[in-house]
Chains A and B, each alone.
Chain A
Amino acid sequence: MVIEVNPINRCRPLGRIGLVLFAMLVVLGASGCGRGGGNDGDVFPRKPIKVVVPFPAGGGSDRFVRIIQKAVRDHGLLPQPLVVINVPGAGGTVGSRRVRDAVADGYTILCLHEGILSSKYAGRVPYGPEVFRPIASTGQSNLVLCVREDSTFEDLSGLMGIVREQPDYIRFGMAQGSPTHFAGRRLEAASDASGRARFRYVASGGGAKRFNDLIGGHVDVTPFSLAEYASFEASGVRAIAYLGRERLPEMPDIPTASEAGYDVVMPHVQYWWAPKATSDAAVGRIADVLEAAMKTSDVEEKLDEMKIRPLFLRGQAMAAHLASRETEFQNVALVQFDGLIPDVLPVVLALAFLLGSLAAYQWAKEKRSISSSGAIGGPFALGLATLALYVLGMQVVRLPYALATAVFVPLMGFVVGARSRGSMVCLLGVGVALGWACFLIFTKVLVIDLP
């Protein structure tokens, strides 16, 4: 299963036969990579469906999607596989943007949780659920508010009492603009309508970082997802409130926030989205498949391990759920930190400018030695142009990767000085082999979305 690549093929001069052979291979490669495919009616899907996960491999969302993916494959729920493409970055917005702009044929969909709402209402992106076509909601968990094991806070009422009496004293660990941030703001609002109750927010970041800061004593209280809480519980973390409708059957000792009089519920649901113009047929088909997958015993078992409830919503029920969630997010204003945090940009610019002038002065003094270190000239520009053509060819013209590489390698070799026929043939061979080997490994073994 594991294939080793060795890029530096030792080249031997190849004769004309070799040349012909490689030319044939290139042509074969070109035809093989074309996006043909049979035309067997209007059946959806006719090719693999790409599920964009806007977070890195191995994270919570990624794990969730892969559990579903495995169930779909193992139970033969779809004639074509679901393919997980990780497009991480900027709190999930790099991936969501990609799906928003994708061709609405049902072959590119997105799985994104509450982040789609929080990134909109935190002002990170100008769009939210409205630019997508919702497919289904799957799996729900809620946040748990935690303190350190040896903390003096016994329950939520005690904690919120201090928050009211001494605003801006209790340090609340969160990730800026994420549901954890919204949770703190909603607790404040539920505790005191006058807006006097205030946490001191500390943007620690993701679950592991908040955990680190909590047990290191750098924050006093922070929310975790249930799965995070389950893993940190043994390391000195104590739950004081569950931000759900009712107590969890498997953790009956943790009171809900509403029992203490704070009506704050922070559900965490994985939503599936398609580009806005996707057809009903495709959306319906994918929703059917997801519904069937959620009912399989493997998925139920795995979700139970991850402390996720097997919720499934589609159509009207999903729309209603989304609408109520959206109002909740809409009514919360996030804390701004103007004046607290210095703007680093002017400082860095000033320093860079100062150092740049000093260095320029130095260069001016040593002018002679600089000019002797070589000119930036033709080869550089030609090399850059060849490289740009290669990338543009794949990105814009959508040339197949293997073909583009087979052409690029000899061309680049020529640009940097390969002149003899022997070395050109050899480079062509390297290009074809490299293109094909990488294409196979990166698309078949590792799932990369190469053209």
Chain B
Amino acid sequence: MIVEVLAQPGLLAMTIIGVALGIAVGAIPGLTGAMLIALTVPLTFSMDGPDALTLLVAMYVGSVSGGLITATLLRMPGTPASVITTLDGYPMARSGRAGRALALGMGASFFGGLLSWCALALLARPIAQVSTLLGPFEYFALVLMALVLVIGVSGPSLIRGALSCMLGVLCALPGTAPGTGELRLTFGVGAFDDGFKPLTVLIGLFALSRVFAPADEVAGTVTVGDSLRLRWRLWRRQGLNLFRSAAIGTGVGILPGIGANIGSLLAYSAARSSSRDPERFGQGCDEGIVASESANNATVGGALVPLIALGIPGSVIDAILLGAFVIHGLQPGPMLFENDPQIVRTIISTYLWANVAMFAIMLMTVRWVARLAAVRHHYLVPVVAAFCVLGSFALANRFFDVWVMIGFGVVGFLLDRWRVPLAPFVIGFILTPLGEESMVTALMSSGGRWLPLVTRPGSLTFLFIAALLFTWSIRQQRLTRDETHTQTKK
């Protein structure tokens, strides 16, 4: 499970190419890793099975990591997974410590990847079995918990956070209602039948909205003067946080259908609530970047667990990977371990070396990449805008998505003006379909009763954690407000 990739130069080359492409696409605002992988799948039809899967897994790892670069430097997350990284990465970069922010993110990503690789290599089959015990009620509770958490961590005002989240939920409603299959809020327009796609919303809200912002807010203000090298002592101080976040990320990744964004969100709120001075979160603190980035990379390894062990995709990208497996005559599941153990070991080994390659490539290019933040505004804006248009069109070959993206760009710009945080909007938007589907399925299976939500131990636990963390953030907010009040009075 370690040396397979190293033993074959072809596979190693695929790993490096995949990671490099993944990082590049993840780092270009407007293009996303999921798009890259979906578009690459047809190209891999003519390749060998191992080559194709190695390339795709490497792209997956690369794109989740590459999203960190633009999330930090420009506040334009390249993947939904990096949304939480913007909370601390961008303020840190703005305060002239872009190098430190990137270095922290890279190191944390690498560690998260390694930890989830261990889980993948050692425990894939047993944990995959256990994960199916979580049913629709647990998923519904989990989504509720995530929504509460994102409101809690999103900024100084809980009300604006909650408003943003609710608007995100509202925007996720048009289209085909889950469960009943009825059309909702489509206003008779056929193009609305599928609702708005998460990636178009993400691109619009975070990347395109910045295109409209005044020059001094976007680029040309970040200097990369500080050192990229971080002392060992610093990493030791982050040890517990790293480990906890990577473990949360891996665990969340294993749950089928839940993406990396919940992983990084959970890890971030856990880090914040266990921190001695939580008010530094959101101002550019080390812990925030470390928690978010180690968790989102860990979800990739976690999500491969149910995919390989049971054939259940853990995320959108995993669903595409599942297709790629089948195209090459490989059926993920217990039989794969018996019929074709070689390919299982190759994939697990690819995951390890893709993380190593990711770290190496980022380390080598980061000085150069960090200059991205210093590119002049009038060069950056047209290019980003062009990529946003191309990236949203390529998702489904239709111009409707481009208009949706532009619409959300305007929404993002306005919300930003009114100082409404964007992260809860995106998380609310992305999780609503999952939450509503789970709710509908749960009610159908219980015959319309809500009671199991509090009688099933899993869902009760999630609700309990949500309530706990939420009261904690309200208290925290009140404390901070009191402090500022007393300070101003003095």
Tell me the number of A-to-B contacts counted with CB atoms below 8 Å: 307
Q: Is there contact, CB below 8 Å, between A8 and B383?
A: yes
Cβ A345 vs Cβ B17 within 8 A: no
Task: Determine the distance from Cα of A216 to Cα of B424 in the docked complex, in whole angstroms.
Answer: 31
Q: Kindly identify which residue among A11, A58, A94, A362 contacts B324, using a CB–CB cutoff of 8 Å.
A: A58
Q: Is the CB of A383 within 8 A of B212?
A: yes
A363 vs chain B, min Cβ distance (A)? 7
Q: Are A341 and B379 in contact (CB under 8 A)?
A: no
Contact status A4-B20, CB under 8 Å? yes
Q: A8-B372, A417-B377 are in contact. Are A89 and B322 (CB under 8 A)?
A: no
Query: In the complex, A216→B137 CA distance in Å?
Result: 12
Q: Within the complex, what minimum Cβ distance (angstroms) separates A219 from chain B?
A: 7
Q: Does B84 contact A (CB under 8 A)?
A: no
CB distance from A82 to the nearest CB of B (A): 12
For A70, list chain B residues within 8 Å (CB): 45
- Chain B residues with Cβ under 8 A from A359's Cβ? 157, 159-160, 163, 420
Residues of B within 8 Å of A227, CB to CB, are 326
Q: From A66, A123, A124, A202, give the contact of B45 (CB < 8 A).
A: A66
Q: Are B381 and A57 touching (Cβ within 8 A)?
A: no
Inter-subunit contact B133/A216 (CB<8 Å): yes
Contact indicator B167/A58 (Cβ below 8 Å): no
B387 at the interface (CB under 8 A from A): yes
**Cβ contacts under 8 Å, A411 to chain B:** 382
Instruction: Tell me the nearest residue of chain B to A438, going by C-beta.
Output: B390
Say yes or no for A298: interface residue by CB 8 A criterion. Answer: no
> Please, how many angstroms separate the alpha-carbon atoms of A426 and B385 in the complex?
17
**Which of A201, A345, A352, A427 has most B Cβ within 10 Å?**
A352
Pair B378/A86 contact, Cβ less than 8 Å: no
Q: List 25 A-B contacts (CB under 8 A).
A: A4-B24, A6-B24, A58-B38, A86-B396, A87-B398, A93-B193, A97-B190, A124-B176, A176-B181, A211-B312, A212-B256, A216-B133, A227-B326, A234-B333, A348-B166, A352-B163, A390-B385, A391-B399, A391-B406, A395-B402, A409-B386, A412-B386, A416-B211, A431-B386, A442-B394
Asked whether any CB of chain A lies closer than 8 Å to the CB of B323, the reply is: yes
Q: How far, in whole Å, are A230 and B176 apart by their CA atoms in the complex?
A: 30
The CA of A411 and the CA of B190, in the complex, are separated in Å by 33
Across-interface contacts of B441 in A (CB, < 8 A):
202-205, 213, 218
**Nearest CB of B to A418, in Å:** 4
Can you list, as one digit per residue, whether each of A205-231 has a CB less than 8 Å from chain B (1) or not (0)?
100110111011111000000010011
- 8 Å CB interface, B1-55 against A: 17, 20-21, 24, 28, 38-43, 45
Other-chain residue from A122, A355, A431 in contact with B159 (beta carbon distance below 8 A)? A355
Q: How far is the CA of A122 from the CA of B326 in the complex (A)?
A: 30
Residue ranges of B at the interface with A (Cβ–Cβ < 8 Å): 17, 20-21, 24, 28, 38-43, 45, 132-136, 157, 159-160, 162-163, 166-167, 169-170, 173, 175-176, 178-185, 190-191, 193-194, 197, 211-212, 214-215, 256-257, 310-313, 319-324, 326-327, 329, 331-335, 372, 375-383, 385-387, 389-390, 393-394, 396-399, 402-403, 406, 410, 413-414, 417-420, 436-437, 439-441, 443-445, 447-448
Which chain B residue lies CB-closest to A377?
Answer: B214
Q: Which residues of A contact B (CB under 8 A)?
A: 1-2, 4-8, 11, 56-59, 62-63, 66, 70, 84-91, 93-94, 97-98, 122-125, 168, 171, 176-177, 200-205, 208-209, 211-213, 215-219, 227, 230-232, 234-235, 305, 336-337, 339-341, 344-345, 348-349, 351-352, 355-356, 358-359, 362-363, 370, 373-374, 376, 379-380, 383-384, 387-388, 390-391, 394-395, 405, 408-414, 416-418, 423, 426-427, 430-431, 434-435, 438, 442, 445-450
A349 in contact with B170 given A218-B135, A373-B417, A448-B393 (CB within 8 Å): yes
The chain A residue with its CB closest to the CB of B211 is A383
A68 to B173, CA, bound (A): 37
A416 touches B377 (CB 8 A): yes
A62–B319 Cα distance when bound, in Å, is 13
Q: For chain B, what secondary structure do more than half of its interface residues adopt (helix, strand, loop), or is it mixed?
A: helix
List the B side residues contacting A358 at CB < 8 Å. Answer: 159, 163
Establish whether residues B378 and A427, one from each chain, have CB atoms under 8 Å apart when the complex forms.
yes
Q: How distant is A397 from chain B, measured CB to nearest CB, in Å? A: 12
Q: B417 and A376: CB pair below 8 A?
A: yes
B186 to chain A: closest residue by CB: A90
Residues of B within 8 A of A213 (CB): 135-136, 441
Given A359-B420, A380-B413; A8-B379 close (CB under 8 Å): yes
For B378, what are the chain A residues with a Cβ–Cβ distance below 8 Å? 413-414, 416-418, 423, 427
Residue of B nearest to A118 (CB): B181
Query: Contacts of B311 on A, CB cut-off 8 Å?
Result: 208, 211, 231-232, 235
B416 to chain A, nearest CB (A): 9
Give A355 to B132 CA distance when docked, in angstroms: 37
A426 in contact with B322 (CB, 8 Å)? no
Instruction: Decide if B132 touches A215 in the complex (CB within 8 Å).
Output: yes
Q: Check if A66 sits within 8 Å of B42, measured CB to CB.
A: yes
A447 CA to B445 CA, complexed, in Å: 42
Q: Return the 3 tightest CB-CB contacts between A and B, nearest first.
A: A58-B323, A89-B194, A216-B132
Report the minimum CB–CB distance from A203 to chain B (whole Å). Answer: 5
A216 and B385 contacting across the interface, CB-CB below 8 Å = no
A58 to B38, CA, bound (A): 8
Distance in angstroms from A389 CB to nearest chain B CB is 12
Interface contact B157-A232, CB-CB below 8 Å: no
